Amino acid sequence: MLTRAVFALVLILAAAGAASAGDTKVLALGLTDHEVGREELEKGAALPVPRFNSPAIAYVWAADVKKGDVVEITLVNEGTSLLSNAETLAEDRDRYLLQAGKRGVPAGGWPEGNYLASVKITRDGKTLIEQKSAPIAFE
């Protein structure tokens, strides 16, 4: 009897693990001073923070996004959206990288304030994920 109970518990836990394995999640979200590549994110090394006189790019690296999902990344300063990029996925993706920002520097540099990256992922009109990076000031 105990063997059957343990076996049933193992089956239940395996099914729960399989169900959560396909859940959409954010692997990385932040700001950097250049267009980031998957290779950099896979290494997990710290990326350079933008400065007032460097480019500023907001990025999101998401896992298990599905066809039809809308992924939107926004560069935000003091609650104001500066630059954003959104894409509706044409196919399922195990890993997906989306970026928004400016390769150049605004005349006079970036305005003072705290900057952050904001991501929103929706499926069938419902928000799956809404997340923000930690705010940083450009030095």
Q: What is the pLDDT of residues 57-84, one digit of tens each?
A: 999 999 999 999 999 999 999 999 999 9
- Contact in structure between 93 and 60 (CB atoms under 8 Å): no
Query: How far is it, in rounded angstroms, from Cα 110 to Cα 127?
Result: 31
Domains of the chain, earliest start first: 24-137 (2.60.40)
Q: What is the pLDDT of residues 89-134, one digit of tens each?
A: 999 999 999 999 998 999 989 999 999 999 999 999 999 999 999 9
